[in-house]
Amino acid sequence: MQTTLNRMQTNHIGEVVDVRGGRTFRSKLDAMGIHRGRSVYKMGGSVWGGPITVRLNGCLVAVGRGMAERILLEVEDS
Amino acid sequence: MTLVLMGNPNVGKSVVFSRLTGSEVTSSNYSGTTVEYTKGKMKIAGQTAELIDAPGTYSLTANSKAEEVAVDMLQYADVVINVVDATNLERNLNLTLELLAHDIPVVIALNMWDEAQKRGITIDVEKLSDELGVPVIPTVATKAQGFSEILRAVRNPSVSPIEEMGSQERWNHIGSIIEKVQTISPREPSLLERLETLSVLPATGLPMVAVVLYLSFLIIRTIGEGAIAYITEPFFEYLYMPVLMQLSNLFGGEGIFHDILVGQLIEGEIDFEQSFGLLSTGIYIPLAAILPYIFSFYLVLSLLEDIGYLPRISVLADNVMHRVGLHGFSIIPMILGLGCNVPAALATRVLEGRREKFITSTLMAIAVPCMAQIAMVVGLLGAFGGKYILYVFGILLWIWLLVGIILDRVLPGFSTDLLLEIPPFRIPSFSTLFRKLWLRMIGFLKEALPFLLSGVLLVNILYALGIFDLINRAAGPFLQNAFGLPTEALSALMMGFLRKDLAMGMLAPLGMTAKQLVTASVVLTIYFPCVATFMVLFRELGALDMLRSAGVMIISALFVGTFVNYTFHDGGFTIVGWVLAIGILLAAWFLPSRSERPSSEDEGIRQPDMQR
C-alpha cells in the first residue's frame, strides 16, 4: 500500500518510492539520505502537528509536515 | 599549501580542526557573505600549511548559503581532509563520493571510530580505502588518535579514480560499498541511545527541555554572579578605581573632558554605574557587568551545542514557532536572547529568509529580556510578591505571541519547513569547547565594546546639550496619562537604550507601586533594544527592516503600557482585562493571512548550520 510520510502509521517502516517536488527539494532530502529505495522508520509522538521524526540508517532526521506530505512510501498492509 | 576540512555537520569536524592547528586560529566571514568560518596554521614536514574549516555540508549541490561557501572553498584546496562519521558511514559517503569525483587529492578521516565500535559497527578500513582509491584513517578526534597517520597521508595524497555519477547511481554504489566493508552486530541500545530517542518525543522530550533550560539558567546565573562578585568587581573597585581617581584629580574633578572621560562624581566619588564617563561606566559595564554573564552563558550554550542537545530543542519547538511564522530553529536566538540580546541578534544570521530574520529579530528584541534585566526585575518586584514577576513574564509571552501571529498574517511569504538532522548525544571535547568559548568572547567584545562606548559618549553629549530635559518635559505628561508612570521614570526609560538593567535600577528609588513597576518593566523590555543590540540588528537587517522593526517595537510598547495601566488593578488583571487579552489574541489568529503556502515545486527549506 502506498501512503505519505504524514499519513503513515507511527512505529512502522516504509520504503521511499517517490519524493514529489522540484530539483532543489529533492536534492536536499537526497543529501540527508531520504531518496528512492531507502527504508525509513517513523517514530511516534509528534501529536500537535510538529515535525515528524524518522530513523534512517542509524540517524534521526526531523521532517516538517509540509515536506512529509510529499514523501511517498510503500508500506506493508497491516 | 592549503588544506580544507570538509564533512557533514555533526561529525566532529571542529574537534579535528583544533587537534590539527596551533593557537593561531582566526574566525572571520567568508568574503561577501555572513557565513563564518575558521582558519588556522599547522606544520607538515617542517613546513607551514593553512587549514580551513569549511562549514558542514551534506552534499556539493549547494542547498544553503553555508553549503555554497563550503563548495566555493574547494577551489583553494591542495588537499581535502574529508571527515566522515564512522557511526553513520552510509549517509556520509554521499558527500565523499561527490568529493572524490573532483580532481583534488582527498584523505579520509574516519572519525568517531571508538563510538562506532561501541555501537557494534565494524568497518574494514583497508577494503574501504581500496573501494574509494584514497587513504582512509580511523580517528578519535576527542582523544587525538590517528592524527600522525593523517599528517603522513596528507604528505603523499592521491586522487581517486571515481567518476561523477547521478544521485541514484551514487546511492546504489554506496550500498554496494557498505555491503562489502561494513558489518553491524545487533545489540541492545545503550542508555544514551535510549535517551537520544526519548529526548525528541514530545511526551518525554518537553519535560526534559524544561529541566535542561532551568538548570542551564541556574548555572549561568551562579557562574555569572560569582564571577562579578569575586573577580570583576573587586578588580575594578580595588585596582582600577585608584588609577581612575588619580586621573580625575589630574583634571581637577570637573570640566567637560573630565565628565566625558571619568564622568560625574557622585558625592566626590566615582560610581561605576552612574558616573557615565567613557573610562568609568563605559569600560565597567561591558567588562565587569556583562562579560561574566557572556562567559557563563556561552559556556553553557557551547556545552549544550557540543553534546548535541540544541537541535532537539528546535524540533520540539517547531510546532509553536510555526504559529508565529517561524520554524523550530528560530528558538535558538530566543533562548540566546535570555542571556544577552547581542549574541541573539548575531544568531539570526543563520536564518536565511528575510521574512524569518525580520520576525525572529523583532520578536526577540520585543519580548525577550536579557539575563541582567531579568535579575533586576526579580530583585525589584520580588519584594512585592512572586506573582508580579509572573505577570511581567506572562505579559511578555502574550505580546510575543500576539506580535508573532500578526506579523505572520501580515507579512507576505511563508514559514519554511524544518529539515534537520538530530545528532546522537556526544561527550564534548573540552579543549575544543574552550577554544570556541574564547573565540566567542573575543567576538562579543569586538561587537559590543565600540557600541557601548559610543553610547556612553552619546548620552553625555545629549545630557550636556539639555536634550534629555527637553524630552522629559515634552513626553512626561503623556507618560503619566497613558502608562500611569511618574515623569521621573522617563529618564530611566531613556537610559534603557543604553542598558536595561541599569534603567531598572534607576526605577528603584522612585518609590513606585507594584503596578507601576510591572508597567515599567514590560515597557522597558519592549520599547527598544539596548544600543549594542540595536547596532547588530541594524547591520543584520539593513536600515529599512530595522526601521520597520523599530516601528513594531514602539507601537507594541505604547499598546502594552496603556493596556496594563487600564486593565491591571489591585494586584491582577480585571475580568475585562483577561477577556480583552484573550479576545485580542483570538482576533489576531483569525486575521486574513497574506502568507501563502508555497505552490511552486521548489520549497525553500532551511538547513541551519548548527555548528555556529
C-alpha radius of gyration, chain A, whole number: 11
Inform me whether the pLDDT recorded for B413 exceeds 90: no
pTM of the predicted model as reported, rounded to 2 decimal places: 0.83
Residue of chain A minimizing CA distance to B196: A60
Highest mean pLDDT among B91-95, B157-161, B464-468: B91-95
Note whether B146 and B113 are within 8 A (CB): yes
Which cell numbers hold the place of B346?
Answer: 548575531
Q: What is the pLDDT of residues B486-535, one digit of tens each?
A: 888 888 888 788 778 778 887 888 888 999 999 999 999 999 988 778 88
Spell out which residues of chain A touch residue B311, defining contact as CB-CB under 8 Å: 62
Note whether B63 and A36 are within 8 A (CB): no
Q: Measured between CB atoms, which of B91, B316, B318 is closest to A33?
A: B91
Mean pLDDT of B403-423: 88
Q: Is B183 on the interface with A (CB under 8 A)?
A: no
Give the number of C-alpha atoms closer than 13 A to the C-alpha of residue B67, restricted to the C-beta side: 18
Higher pLDDT, residue B443 or B70: B70
Note whether B577 and B568 are within 8 A (CB): yes
Which is it for strands A71-74 and B2-7: parallel, antiparallel or unpaired?
unpaired
Residue B610 confidence (pLDDT): 37
Mean pLDDT of B156-184: 92
Q: CB B58 to CB A31 under 8 A?
A: yes
Q: Is A4 on the interface with B (CB under 8 A)?
A: no
Q: CB B417 to CB A32 under 8 A?
A: no
Å from A9 to nearest chain B CA?
A: 15
For residues B561 and B516, give the distance between their C-alpha atoms in angstroms, rounded to a whole number.
10
Å from A11 to nearest chain B CA?
A: 12
Q: B315-341 burial, b if ≥16 CB within 10 A, otherwise e?
A: bbbbbebbebbbbbbbbbbbbbbbbbb
Residue A78 confidence (pLDDT): 64
Grid cell 540527508 in the structure block, residue:
A32
Mean pLDDT of B226-248: 94
Q: Is A73 on the interface with B (CB under 8 A)?
A: no
Three-class secondary structure of residue B422 per DSSP: strand
Residue A23 confidence (pLDDT): 85
Which cell numbers hold the place of B548?
Answer: 520597520
Which is it for strands B417-422 and A59-63: parallel, antiparallel or unpaired?
antiparallel
Mean pLDDT of B257-286: 85
Note whether A4 and A76 are within 8 A (CB): no
What average pLDDT does chain B have? 87
For residue A37, the Cα-to-chain-centroid distance in whole angstroms is 12
Inform me whether the pLDDT recorded for B289 exceeds 50: yes
Please name the residues in contact with B332: beta carbons below 8 A apart, sequence gap of 6 or more: B310, B313, B314, B347
Highest mean pLDDT among B57-61, B63-67, B319-323, B563-567: B563-567
Q: Is B267 on the interface with A (CB under 8 A)?
A: no
Q: CB B417 to CB A65 under 8 A?
A: yes
Å from A41 to nearest chain B CA?
A: 12
The residues with which A42 forms a beta bridge, in sequence order, are A12, A54
Note whether A68 and A31 are within 8 A (CB): no
Q: What angle do CA B349, B313, A59 make, to 5 degrees?
A: 100
Grid cell 586522487 in the structure block, residue:
B159
Provide the residue type at B238 as one letter: Y
Q: What is the pLDDT of residues A35-54, one digit of tens each?
A: 999 999 998 766 567 889 99
The residues with which A15 forms a beta bridge, in sequence order, are A39, A74
Å from B211 to nearest chain A CA?
A: 20
Which cell numbers hold the place of B578?
Answer: 483577561
Inform me whether the pLDDT recorded for B137 exceeds 90: yes
Three-class secondary structure of residue B202 per DSSP: helix
Please name the residues in contact with B208: beta carbons below 8 A apart, sequence gap of 6 or more: B198, B199
For residues B92 and B90, give the distance between their C-alpha atoms in angstroms, rounded to a whole number.
5
| C-alpha distance from residue B345 to each of A68, B106, B334, B340, B534 (Å) | 31, 37, 9, 9, 9
Residue B350 confidence (pLDDT): 74
Grid cell 518510492 in the structure block, residue:
A17
Which of A45-59, B87-101, B138-152, B371-385 is the least confident region?
A45-59
For residues B65 and B606, give the distance between their C-alpha atoms in angstroms, rounded to a whole number.
10
Spell out which residues of chain A touch residue B173, defining contact as CB-CB under 8 Å: none
Residue B73 confidence (pLDDT): 92
Q: Is A11 on the interface with B (CB under 8 A)?
A: no
Residue A17 has φ and ψ, to the nearest 5°, of -105, -25
Å from A44 to nearest chain B CA?
A: 7
